[in-house]
Amino acid sequence: MLETLQIDNIALIEKLEISFYKGLNILSGETGAGKSIIIDSLNFVLGTRADKSLISYGKDTAKVSAFFNISDSPNAKTLLEDMEIDCDGDELVLQRVMTDAGKNTCRINGQKVTLAMLKEVAASLTDIYGQHEATGLLDDENHIVILDKYAKSALVSPLEKQRSLHEEYTRIKKELSRYGSLSDVAKKTDMLRFELDEIEKADLKDGEEEELLATRKKLNNSRFITDALAAAENALNGDYDGSALTTIAEAKSQLSSVDEYDSRYGELIDRLDSAKIEIKDIAETVKDLLGESEYNPYEAERVEQRLALVRTLKRKYGNGISEILAYAEKIREELSFYDDAEFNIEKLTAELSKCEKSLSANAENIHKIRLDYAEKLADNITAQLKELGMNNATFFADVEYDSSNIGPDGADSVLFMFSANAGQPAKALSKVISGGELSRFMLAVKNIISDVDGIQTMVFDEIDTGISGKIAQVVAEKLYNISKDKQVLAVTHLPQLASMADAHYLISKSTDGNKTYTNLELLDRKGTLQEIARLLGGSEYGTHALPHAEEMKDFADKYKKG
């Protein structure tokens, strides 16, 4: 049940807090006073689409908070558990904030959530019906939803079974589609084996391409490398006086001739001996490298052929050797999958056939249940329509079974058929129903479905459009009857409905000369009588309207007691 609605900076509302009660809560007021703003604010916090035009002029944010008591809302509690949202006790707070940049921030019990999560929880708490929702009845696809909601208890288990069977059926078909026919398997495995054989024969190694490129670079520059190494070897150990070893020998000879004069000269001779050994070793290494650096045409040919093979395999199987090897591993896995293809295809085909039979049998069972409840729904709605003044109305739900279109919800299509007049054949509801008839039809549906949908708060936004006279009284009584078990909020211009209120709110508009504001007042009995008189058309609560309002209120009080 919605206990409190707090509105900040929505249209003409700067700040407003409304406390709602059990039973029938009526909102009324002059045209343009702002009744729709209250409903827009409620829609906003319940997650419906909104844009920044909702924000009050001159403000940069709008915020609405809704406080619910969920003691009688087990569906909402289950959703909160599934979403891992803390809920101490029975209080639940939904909040939504929107900035002038269009950014939305949603919270449930202070915990930040997505708009989709907010909307899902809100849908388990509140059902808002307005003219837009009425047009939903004109969409044929919604008819099966209404019928299934009406037959909920009988369909829960069969529909769960159908969805489970359909999921299994889809899984088997998907696995079978991986195989295709046995001839497909043969073609596929032949191709895979060819690819794997081509890769395995290449005997590629990770990093090999880089090594080959480095070798090719070295071979292509062998003349330059040979000249450089020969010059280095000659400089270190050449047969001329300027080589490194010759120069060291000369330096050592000169120092040896004077080493008796200073011990440090002997130390330098030892260091030159060490340097001579190191340089001689370097010279030998350079000489060895020089032998290796000779251009080898056979090695160059091998490297080019290997690189060409790598390029060919890269074009076919990946951007590099690591990807080619990974692709080869994937082929091995696929070939392993196809190893027992014939056996598995036979096994899966048998499973699919069995699943199809179960799916079809369960869909037929669902069809029978829908037929049964379609008849009950037709009787129920027809009775409601008669009470709403449509004595000659004919209604039935046409349930068609299509064995070629079995899905997770069965194989049925449902179409509501309607005729408002005796002697006229029933036709598709969307083709023949008028605006006033549609409002009454929706009220009949809501009156029936409200007992089974588990939602505790129902909002009716001007459901009385196109209704007057005796039918207005019937509508008022029906909405009150719903409010005995549900909390009902109704925006109305009908005095008959206003007289049934358990709590009556007057919405008005005022200005301070600079700004215009929407105000809301909870009326006492005197205020309620004055508002009913206004709705009756009384000017300044004239002598005729006010006594009539008192009569209507007394009649409503007696009806409610009865």
**pLDDT score recorded for residue 223:** 63
**pLDDT score recorded for residue 20:** 94
**pLDDT score recorded for residue 240:** 60
Tens digit of each residue's pLDDT (9 = 90 or more) over 21-35: 999 999 998 877 778
Tens digit of each residue's pLDDT (9 = 90 or more) over 534-545: 998 865 555 678
Which residue in 381, 474, 458, 530 sits closest to 123, CA to CA? 458
Residue 132 has pLDDT above 60, yes or no: no
Specify the DSSP element, H or E, that contains 128: strand 126-129
Inside any domain, residue 193: yes
Inside any domain, residue 98: no
Residue 225 has pLDDT above 80, yes or no: no
The 8 Å CB, 24+ separation contacts for 299-308 are: 299/215, 299/219, 300/216, 300/219, 300/220, 303/212, 303/215, 303/216, 303/219, 304/216, 306/208, 306/212, 307/209, 307/212, 307/213, 307/216
Of the pLDDT bands very low, low, confident and very high (cuts 50, 70, 90), residue 189 is confident
Q: What is the amino acid identity at position 174?
A: K
Of the pLDDT bands very low, low, confident and very high (cuts 50, 70, 90), residue 293 is low
* Count of the separate structural domains present in the chain: 1
Rounded CA separation 218/215 (Å): 5
Inside any domain, residue 507: no
Rounded CA separation 166/407 (Å): 7
**pLDDT score recorded for residue 227:** 62
% of the chain residues with pLDDT over 70: 91
Inside any domain, residue 376: no
- For residue 263, the enclosing domain spans 189-338
**More confident: 382 or 217:** 382
Tens digit of each residue's pLDDT (9 = 90 or more) over 241-281: 667 777 777 677 777 776 777 778 778 878 878 888 888 88
Average pLDDT over residues 337-359: 88
Average pLDDT over residues 447-473: 78
Helix ranges (H only) for 180-262 are: 182-202, 208-220, 222-237, 244-256
Inside any domain, residue 490: no
Q: Which structure tokens are listed for 175? A: 């696995």
**pLDDT score recorded for residue 519:** 87
**pLDDT score recorded for residue 89:** 80
Of the pLDDT bands very low, low, confident and very high (cuts 50, 70, 90), residue 133 is low
